[in-house]
Amino acid sequence: MSCRLSVNLNRVAVLRNSRGGGEPDILHAADVCLDAGAHGITVHPRPDARHTRHDDVVALSALARARGVEFNLEGNPFAPAREGYAGFLALCELVRPMQATLVPDTDAQLTSDHGFDFARDGAALRPLVVRLKALGCRVSLFADAGCDVAGAAATGADRIELYTGPWAEAFAAGRGEAALPAFAATARAAREAGLGVNAGHDLSQANLGAFLAAVPGVEEVSIGHALIGEALYAGLATTVSRYLAIIDHAG
């Protein structure tokens, strides 16, 4: 199975929210990405609603369903509900995303920056995975290279999503080759344990090809920040097409 591209639209929502109103239109952006060949749409609504919000989740889920593509909803299942944020499990119950990606982020984090500690969090994750799978969601868990793959598999999840921030940082510093073996070994161990492998965070046109060439069996990459930034110069449809070409070449 070749790798698939899911476009994270959080940064479109950040730009919209910085001014108020409805522009840029996140639904229009989703349509442009899908028309250009993206395989799905990702959003990670946070409790403070600093980018994608409850209404975005509902609208994008309906769009993805109408177009027959994957909607990937990310979030921290342990974050409490509050005004304007129903909670991750409640959102999943409402829209039933094709994939639910669990991420251990907190309000204080500017962005996701680490995976789960499965020895510590595994017991708490297991009943949540059961609930999400009962909704028909494929469940993916955010994970670091070198993580306890057996612990991840024991939760009953379907996949892990490798947190690729350290890879991007090493690549930018000219140390990419040294970072790749840990990711490749974790991906191989995950597949041997019956887990699928996704990847995401700080992937870009510059570093994606080398990552996919070295890390076996990546089924999906979720890319947002770099893709939206690059689209400011080249256009959204063109940028999505360039990512798909990188994925095809690596495959």
Residues belonging to the active site: 44, 74, 201
Distance from chain centroid for Cα 199? 7
* Pair 170, 191: CB distance under 8 Å: no
Q: Three-class SS of residue 161?
A: strand
Biggest distance spanned by C-alpha atoms of the chain: 48
Residue 82 DSSP class: B
Instruction: Write the CB contacts of 241 (distance below 8 Å, at least 6 apart in sequence).
Output: 36, 37
In the chain, count H helices and then E strands.
11, 8
* Residue whose C-alpha is closest to residue 86's, from 43, 46, 41: 46
Residue 75 to residue 213: CA distance in whole angstroms: 28
Which amino acid would we find at residue 234? A
Residue 239 to residue 29: CA distance in whole angstroms: 12
Torsion 112-172-13-239 (CA) sign: negative
